Amino acid sequence: MDLSTLPTAGELMPLSHACAPRWQPGLACALYGEVFACGSEASGAALALALALDGLGQDAFEQHHVLWVQDKAALRLTGRPYRPGLPSMLRDRVIHVAAATPEDALFAIEEGVRCCELACVIGEIAGNPRALDFTASRRLTLAAERHGVALVLVRLDAMRDLSSARMRWQVAAAPSLPPHWNAAAPGASAWRAELFRARTHPPGEWILHDEKTGLRARPSTSSERAGESANPQNIRSA
């Protein structure tokens, strides 16, 4: 058999993505997703929570708790979750774990996704610790998919390394839309989000807005992408 006549992986990927639906708000979230964000802003944790709420539905959070795990470096960068700033249904339902090391954080996260009584697990780990290699990510994927507990892992100031996460995002804060009732007041949260890897969706870039009923997305414009290139924040590749 002449192997030279077979299509290459690069030729097959566009064909597979052409048949896949584009991501949009309201779709079920991946059971293991990663959000890459700059450690100098809180966009990573905020979008992680917004994606979980949007993908799982608010009903999942009315009777179950959320496990929020941070390693020491992530805690120093972004601080603890501010309960008064959380959605009202979550203010008394967040179990916070401050881990001393990435190894301890990964242990707590894996134990969390094995607990079916949790609505989801949100983790925050800074940098690219050796403990978070492909094998560790595979363990998290298998545990989340076996027990049906969603995990969104925020990677602060991290390079894009190998991972088995089903969806991987790069995010940064974006300008908010002015509120209708007072144009001078702070607007709802907004993010510039790039889905650079997904198992069931092609890559894409959006401006995401947090609304009371969930996320709203619109494609990012060329000028917005140009502004991101001029201010790359923490977009790096391994």
**Residue 207 resides in a domain:** yes
**Residue 213 resides in a domain:** yes
CATH for 135: 3.40.50.300
**Residue 17 resides in a domain:** no
- Contact between 128 and 98 under an 8 Å Cβ cutoff? The reply is no
- Contact between 70 and 124 under an 8 Å Cβ cutoff? The reply is yes
Q: What pLDDT does residue 230 have?
A: 47
Tell me how many domains the chain contains. 1
Q: What pLDDT does residue 227 have?
A: 55
Q: What is the DSSP string of 101-167?
A: SHHHHHHHHHHHHT-TTEEEEEEEEES--TTSSHHHHHHHHHHHHHHT-EEEEEEET--B-----SE
Q: Is 48 helix (H, G, I), strand (E, B) or coil?
A: helix
Structural domain of 104 = 26-230
**Residue 19 resides in a domain:** no
Which helix (H) or strand (E) segment is 211 a member of?
Answer: strand 204-211
Q: What pLDDT does residue 61 have?
A: 87
**Residue 97 resides in a domain:** yes
Each residue's pLDDT expressed in tens, for the chain with a length of 238 residues? 555 555 544 444 454 455 678 888 888 888 999 999 999 888 899 889 888 988 888 788 888 999 999 999 999 999 999 999 888 888 899 999 999 999 999 999 999 999 999 999 999 999 999 999 999 999 999 999 999 999 999 999 999 999 999 999 999 988 887 777 887 777 778 899 999 999 889 999 999 988 777 788 887 766 555 555 445 444 444 4
**Residue 225 resides in a domain:** yes
DSSP 185: S
Residue among 194, 202, 200, 167 nearest 32 (CA) = 167
Q: Is 30 helix (H, G, I), strand (E, B) or coil?
A: coil
**Residue 57 resides in a domain:** yes
- Contact between 33 and 193 under an 8 Å Cβ cutoff? The reply is no
**Residue 181 resides in a domain:** yes
Q: What pLDDT does residue 5 have?
A: 57
Cβ-Cβ contacts under 8 Å for 152 (sequence gap 6 or more): 29, 33, 34, 35, 48, 49, 51, 52, 120, 121, 122, 123
